[in-house]
Chains A and B, each alone.
Chain A
Amino acid sequence: MTDSAANPSAADPCPRDAASNFGPSAPWDRLRERAELLARLRAFFDAREFLEVDTPLLSADTVVDLHIDPLAVNLFDDPRNPEQGTRYWLQTSPEFCMKRLLAAGSPPAIYQVCKAFRAAERGPLHNPEFTIVEWYRVGDDYESGIALLAELIQSLLNVPRVDRRSYRQAFLEHVGLDPHQATIEEFAAFAARDPTVQLADAATIDRDQWLNYLLAQYVEPHLGRDAPEILCDFPASQAALARVRALPDSSQRVAERFELYYRGIELANGYHELLDPNILEERNRTNNLARKKLGKQELPESSRMLDAMRSGLPPCVGVALGFDRLAMVACGAASIQEVLAFPIDRA
């Protein structure tokens, strides 16, 4: 036995089981289908004169979101002191760099296919490293942005139609409560009536967490059952980087944010992009305070993307699509591991 085998070094933190399989977890026909799907996706964008761009995965900036946790990388210069370096972030989506391109006068339509990384996300629909497709088109408004997503999905999945429903309609139908108007007590009472499942420590959670739980438990499983479905007009508190508008005939404000679902699986997330840097700064501050309260690491609030917004981001719609999940639904796989060559546990 060699020394390294007896005493695994720091360079090899994962002891490998001799019996473990080195091969891919996805069958070859799935990997082939995945490659063909990607080729068709590129053809879709190329035909519409989108420019494919390539931006860094490793950046000094990162999205400041309460629930998205980026992985930090220590970029060192001296290999003898790998702990001393500058902190960079593996991108959780290519959004920041792509918006910088738009603000710097790029062609009006750009797209990218790249890897994205999110810590602590593992499950049948999650792998910490995944493939994301992201696109922006200047001049699109909310409606034309939604229409482009619907067109893409119809073309890629060969489906005759794409349905659309507002977040409010979906809640009214499956929960029987108005997500914008109902009280936390009404949400709690609805959940308490379910004899089959309970939310642990329900007393301590806030409004967005209630919406989130009810969406995951009672709404999402029904979304896109017959045809892909776009859920739109999210609660204003969940705007992220989307604009907020008032609903007609009321003072109710909703986010111009939309998500695509198919067979209960969330595939894409789009924004009618927020252009005001001051609002983003305010959201960053709020999110960092909330992160701090949860004991999470705080993230840099200033960024080159904010600089880009200050110089002027042209009005646009941006959408991010989880390519692995798209491949899942396209070939009828039950988990993301079935369409990945090497998911994290064998990466």
Chain B
Amino acid sequence: MSTYKTSDFRKGLKVQIDGEPYLMVEMNFVKPGKGNALYKCRLKNLIRGTTLDRVYKGGDTLDSADVEEVDAQFLYKQGDTFVFMNQESFDQYELSAEQVDDGWKWIKEGTVCKMLLYNGNPITMEPPPHVNLKVEYCEPGARGDTATNVTKQIKLETGGEVLAPLFINIGDILRIDTRTGEYVERVRN
């Protein structure tokens, strides 16, 4: 573990506070009236997602957090546990439904996700920004109706739901933006 001096402080730094990993999301240097330098930081807890505002003085230090991002493949779900495998080391990780959060909607067996490890343990999982998924169920499509501004509810093979245009049919492959949870286009029918 290394330490960061205030002169190292910048957005994007991963640090450890009270035993938990934080991401520095904002950093403002202030120096009121010829006084000592202050560093106003906003820190995001990488486990709980909560934020913390702290002010540091020039000369203060923060411990670095051993946080690493790896590629991990989704293997299977067992009860409420999601099992992934590190693409490089083949280590297996078990994530709770809470840790996976909304990500379950966009992953199926074999999907390679970004996983954040803290001291070697998984803390969060992020699906790829775009995924292609098959439509498991929807109301029948109206052939020839290519309007994209009218939508209907679609159930995907993962169980996740999205809004998609009326011309989509069961069995179509759709491209989804996982960051917004929105339909992008039909890849194949």
Give chain A's interface residues, CB within 8 Å of chain B: 65-68, 120-126, 196-201, 205, 208-209, 211-213, 215-217, 220, 231, 234, 238, 240, 259, 266, 269, 294-295
Interface membership of B170, Cβ < 8 A? no
Given the known interface contacts A198-B54, A201-B57, the answer about A238 and B34 at a Cβ–Cβ threshold of 8 Å is yes
Max chain A Cβ within 10 angstroms of own Cβ: one of B7, B52, B56, B57: B57
A200 touches B60 (CB 8 A): yes
Given the known interface contacts A120-B7, A201-B57, A201-B60, the answer about A67 and B28 at a Cβ–Cβ threshold of 8 Å is no
Q: Indicate with 1 or 0, residue by residue over B35-51, a CB within 8 angstroms of chain A CB atoms.
A: 11110100000000000
Given the known interface contacts A120-B7, A120-B37, A121-B37, the answer about A212 and B32 at a Cβ–Cβ threshold of 8 Å is yes
CB contacts under 8 Å to A, within B54-78, are 54-60
Shortest beta-carbon distance, B16 to chain A, in Å? 13
Given the known interface contacts A66-B36, A198-B54, the answer about A216 and B59 at a Cβ–Cβ threshold of 8 Å is no
Question: Which 3 pairs from chain A and chain B are nearest by CB?
Answer: A123-B29, A212-B35, A197-B53
Given the known interface contacts A122-B29, A123-B29, A123-B30, the answer about A238 and B35 at a Cβ–Cβ threshold of 8 Å is yes
List 20 interface pairs A-B (beta carbons < 8 Å), by A numbering.
A67-B34, A67-B35, A67-B37, A68-B34, A121-B37, A124-B28, A125-B29, A125-B30, A198-B52, A198-B55, A200-B54, A212-B32, A212-B35, A212-B36, A213-B55, A213-B57, A215-B32, A215-B35, A216-B40, A259-B33
Partner of A126, one of B29, B36, B53, B59: B29
Question: Could you tell me the dominant secondary structure of chain A's interface residues?
Answer: mixed
Interface membership of B179, Cβ < 8 A? no
A67 touches B57 (CB 8 A): no
Max chain B Cβ within 10 angstroms of own Cβ: one of A68, A196, A199: A199
Shortest beta-carbon distance, A120 to chain B, in Å? 6
Shortest beta-carbon distance, A124 to chain B, in Å? 6
Interface membership of B31, Cβ < 8 A? yes
In the assembled complex, the Cα of A237 lies from the Cα of B100 at a distance in Å of 55
Give chain B's interface residues, CB within 8 Å of chain A: 7, 28-38, 40, 52-60
B34 touches A240 (CB 8 A): yes
19 additional contacts, CB 8 Å, given A216-B55, A220-B32?
A67-B37, A120-B58, A123-B30, A126-B29, A196-B53, A197-B40, A200-B55, A201-B56, A201-B60, A209-B36, A212-B35, A213-B57, A215-B33, A216-B32, A234-B33, A238-B33, A240-B34, A266-B32, A269-B33
Q: Which residue of B has the minimal Cβ distance to A67?
A: B36
In the assembled complex, the Cα of A295 lies from the Cα of B33 at a distance in Å of 22
Shortest beta-carbon distance, A85 to chain B, in Å? 26
A123 touches B57 (CB 8 A): no
B56 / chain A contacts, CB cutoff of 8 Å: 200-201
In the assembled complex, the Cα of A238 lies from the Cα of B35 at a distance in Å of 8
Max chain A Cβ within 10 angstroms of own Cβ: one of B7, B53, B55: B55
A266 touches B33 (CB 8 A): yes
A240 / chain B contacts, CB cutoff of 8 Å: 34
In the assembled complex, the Cα of A295 lies from the Cα of B54 at a distance in Å of 24
B57 touches A205 (CB 8 A): yes
In the assembled complex, the Cα of A40 lies from the Cα of B43 at a distance in Å of 43
Q: Which residue of A has the minimal Cβ distance to B38?
A: A216
In the assembled complex, the Cα of A240 lies from the Cα of B31 at a distance in Å of 15
Shortest beta-carbon distance, B60 to chain A, in Å? 6
A217 touches B55 (CB 8 A): yes
Q: Which residue of B has the minimal Cβ distance to A68?
A: B34
A198 / chain B contacts, CB cutoff of 8 Å: 52-55
